[in-house]
Chain A
């Protein structure tokens, strides 16, 4: 049985079908779950895709946090289930306090839509387990608010505990410590600004996103049991 991924759809989400297709190309199956549902079903992993949940009103992710489905996502994460937020999904996870820090406007106030070079900085997460640290991946970013920031103490913890999972090789947006993606302490909740689902076919310029999606599916088959 292939791993099944629940893909959360908020009003304003726009990457849900890309994620479904990407997961299928990586060998899994995916199912879209409406944000108003309180029940996720029994997925092996949850992905919160990119877009503009609730129009990004107030702040990106600020209102999505109150959608009924988020209680189920929080319970799933608390039980060790793999949860990945991509782009706006990363913003939702920080606003929901499932991940620390915040995503502010890009340095230079530019909306950036471009392929970027990433480096795997830690394999202690459901998205990077089994991938050699230092491996380069070419995956696109597409955001205005992707400049990751956190207080100094949080940064020390992220660095020390191997929770920075992906870094930009050439920092495009001003993120502290070139952070492109982070994980929670247990490694089962991951947020990243780059879009792995948009790098799943050579025709799109890169298949490197499949490396991450396959790692997620593999981890979904063997969820993190307890905090490391």
Chain B
């Protein structure tokens, strides 16, 4: 089975989030003085092949711990759902491999 994973990476509580703070500070100028607690992060989507949701989640948790987040400063919120369709025709797989990518040009 294929599972859609949405990984939201945010800075840990207590780690300064200057981007979030800067966005929040600019909100009153637009009249949004009732909006607070802005936190800036990033979202990563991927598809996992696994027999169960639990297995899919375990894979993504491991991936987050070892690569997608830096646990010193970041934490991840993971959402797993059954993939809506087998393949998304709009999304081409990434070409190339960073590690053995283009030869040095200099």
A-to-B contact residues, CB < 8 Å: 9, 11, 34-36, 54, 57-59, 62-63, 66-68, 94-95, 101-102, 104-109, 149-151, 174
Contact = CB atoms under 8 A, between A and B. Distances in A.
A94 B72 CA distance: 10
Contact of B98 (A11, A59, A106, A174): A11
Contact of B15 (A36, A63, A68, A149): A149
Contact of A58 (B19, B68, B102): B68
- By secondary structure, the A interface counts as loop
A105 B68 contact: no
A104 B104 contact: no
Nearest to B67: A62
Contacts of B45: none
Contacts of B67: 58, 62
Contacts of B98: 11, 54, 57, 63
19 contacts: A9-B104, A11-B101, A11-B104, A34-B104, A62-B67, A62-B70, A94-B72, A95-B70, A102-B72, A102-B73, A104-B15, A104-B73, A105-B18, A105-B19, A107-B16, A107-B18, A108-B18, A150-B72, A151-B72
Interface of B: 11, 15-16, 18-19, 22, 67-68, 70, 72-73, 98-102, 104
**Which of A9, A66, A102 has its CB near the most chain B CB atoms (within 10 A)?**
A102
Given A36-B100, A63-B98, A102-B72, 11 more contacts: A11-B101, A11-B102, A34-B104, A35-B99, A54-B98, A104-B16, A104-B73, A106-B18, A149-B15, A149-B73, A151-B72
Top 4 A-B residue pairs of the complex, sorted by shortest distance between their CB atoms: A102-B72, A109-B18, A102-B73, A102-B70
Contact of A67 (B19, B68, B70, B99): B99
A36 to B, nearest CB: 6
A11 B68 CA distance: 20
Contacts of A102: 70, 72-73
A9 B11 CA distance: 30
Nearest to A53: B98
Contacts of B18: 105-109
Contacts of A174: 16
A107 B22 CA distance: 11
Contacts of B70: 59, 62, 95, 102
B99 A109 contact: no
**Which of A66, A104, A174 has its CB near the most chain B CB atoms (within 10 A)?**
A104
A158 to B, nearest CB: 13
Nearest to A68: B99
Contacts of A106: 18
A183 B35 CA distance: 43
A107 B98 CA distance: 31
Contacts of B99: 35-36, 66-68
Contacts of A109: 18-19, 22
A11 B104 CA distance: 7
A115 to B, nearest CB: 24
